[in-house]
Amino acid sequence: MALSLYQKAPDFSLPATGNKIITLSKDFANKSVILYFYPKDFTRGCTAEACSFRDSLLALQGIEIPVLGISRDSIETHEKFKKAYQLPFDLLSDLKGNVIKQYDAFLFPILGIVKRISYVLDKDHKIVGVYESMFDAKAHVKHTIEIYQHKL
């Protein structure tokens, strides 16, 4: 079950690609953002999802949509994934799964498997949209961006 609409999104700090630490409240203060949680770099569905976000962002030139991808993969794996697919957004590493747990993004917590779920946050970081779909990554991105465009 996803977090509720209009509740304040949990703040976090996580290591990110580009050798940085991203803190939601600091780095995206007064900015809307899309957070997407996904199971694993280089898998078919996750690659399709990341590339779909990439392609959608390129198609929407002039509209700045900050996107952050979060999984339990290491920064090293994220860096390779980002480079291999030329992703124009940061990937964050939540090795211990603490942020994933805060966002109710575990499919099977005991096994540590992350579900495919996105949250659209407004400039105050309240949740204004949620989309969850394990199997249709392209529809997932389409719906998430539609939520972003219509709510913000």
Among 9, 24, 34, 46, the one annotated catalytic: 46
51 is catalytic: no
Full DSSP string of the chain: -PPPTTSBPPP-EEEETTTEEEEHHHHTTT--EEEEE-S-TTSHHHHHHHHHHHHHHHHTTT----EEEEESS-HHHHHHHHHHTT-SSEEEE-TT-HHHHHTT-EEETTTTEEP-EEEEE-TT-BEEEEEE-SS-HHHHHHHHHHHHHHH-
User: Catalytic site residues?
Assistant: 46
